[in-house]
Amino acid sequence: MSILITMCVCQRMSFERLLPIAREKEWGVDDIARETLCGAGCGLCRPYIREMLKTGKTVFTDILTE
């Protein structure tokens, strides 16, 4: 069974929605956490946000860690 990781669960914000905002505003991971709270709660989405910013990918099937 494959799992899809597509969002910050704490803030219920999809990476697909977050990516264009982050690119437009030229945000990094810390900026995203400060402005949207994505990555500021449990922190499990931070490695996915980092990878999203680096690659543009918004759907993940692998478990990423810091």
pLDDT tens-digit series, residues 31-62: 999 999 999 999 999 999 999 999 999 999 99
> Residue 46: which CATH number?
1.10.10
Q: How confident is the model at residue 66 (pLDDT cuts 50, 70, 90)?
A: confident
CA–CA dist 39, 18 (Å, integer): 12
Task: Provide the domain count of the chain.
Answer: 1
Residue 2 within a domain: no
Residue 26 within a domain: yes
Radius of gyration of the chain (CA): 11
Q: pLDDT at residue 1 above 70?
A: no
> Tell me: the pLDDT tens digits for 11-20?
999 999 999 9
| pTM of the entire predicted model | 0.93
CA–CA dist 30, 27 (Å, integer): 8
> What DSSP designation does 26 have?
T
The domain of 35 spans 7-55
CA–CA dist 9, 48 (Å, integer): 12
Residue 43 within a domain: yes
The reported pLDDT for the residue numbered 60 is 97
